[in-house]
Amino acid sequence: MTLKKPKPWELRNQTLNWGERTYLMGVLNVTPDSFSDGGQFNTVETAVSQARHLAKSGIDILDIGGQSTRPGAVQISLEEELTRVVPVIQAIRSDSATELQTISISIDTTQAAVAQAAIEAGADIVNDISGGVFDPKMLSTLAKLAVPIILMHMRGTPQTMQQLTDYEDLMAEISGFLAGQINRAMAAGVDPDLIAIDPGIGFAKTYPQNLDILKKLPELHKLERPILVGPSRKSFIGWILDQPDPQQRVWGTAAACCSAIAGGVDILRIHDGAEMRDVCRVADAIWRH
């Protein structure tokens, strides 16, 4: 069977040509409690400084999130999430640095109102860890906004997901969920060419299951959508390395990113921009060219 290559995404300063190279999404958590860098960038000033650092390190997309999604994280109010993310997006877009005025921004949210406010403030992409499930207005809102959406697989909520890891066929269930959400998004009016997928490493998955996803990533190509994977600094890497400090998992992250590139991933969601840019350049030279 010949698979159809997804159409490129046309963003404000770039075209994402899927399959040409691996694109990097740099994590910018404006939260006090994210698992790796909570509290480091939760003021406008520190967030903009980190955005500038990531942009200069060569990332393609800034992923800004105001709601922690680590295991056990408590859901914050809509007002609090808006207060965290909108001023940061506005400050990035009004910064004197050209790279911040033009870099692509994704908003990491499960709330339609946050997605809309973020796009109006200058974001370009919506990254929904619930795959459009948590907020019944999300898919119809995205159809009206006509912006790219990343749909991720998870079970439960961040508070309950690590008790929901019993799968009969892990990859079949991930693929089935994502296929269903793609169809629901299309039924709501979302352009299928604007949909990407994420298998949800670390979300309702055991450590061995995360490794299984990386090994079997090519199975998701049958959905004919761009694939994002987010292994960066996650606890399965700490489990392998016996490394409790997420910020000391850069080399383990590099190995996971190499595996994902060999499996045909399109976007890697990462914390360490310069290091993973080098990883991508070498891995792309091996597996893409």
pLDDT at 123 (0 to 100) = 98
In this prediction, residues 229-241 reach a mean pLDDT of 97
Among 2.60.120.20, 3.40.50.2000, 3.20.20.20, 1.20.120.530, name the CATH number for the domain at 20-287. Answer: 3.20.20.20
- 63-72, 194-203, 238-247: the lowest-pLDDT one: 63-72
User: Which tens digit of pLDDT belongs to each residue from 174-229?
Assistant: 999 999 999 999 999 999 999 999 999 999 999 999 999 999 999 999 999 999 99
Strands 15-16 and 9-10: antiparallel
pLDDT (average), residues 151-165: 90
| Residue tagged active-site, from 269, 277, 281, 288 | 269
- On the question of pLDDT at 130 being above 80, the answer is yes
Q: For the residues 270-282, what does the mean pLDDT come to?
A: 97
Q: Given this model, what pLDDT does residue 18 score?
A: 97
Quote the tokens at residue 29: 């958590």
Any catalytic annotation for residue 269?
yes
> Residue 38: pLDDT band by 50, 70, 90 thresholds?
low
- Is residue 193 within 8 A of residue 7, CB to CB? The reply is yes
Catalytic pick among 21, 84, 234, 249: 234
In the chain, where the domains are located: 20-287
Closest CA to 202 of 27, 57, 47, 66: 27
Q: Is the pLDDT of residue 272 over 60?
A: yes
* Predicted local distance difference test score (pLDDT) of residue 159: 82
Contact yes or no for 249/241 (Cβ under 8 A): yes
DSSP string, 5-17: PPPPEE-SS-EE-
Full-model pTM: 0.94
CB-based contact 227:179 (threshold 8 Å): no
> Among 59-68, 250-259, 261-270, which is the least confidently predicted range?
59-68
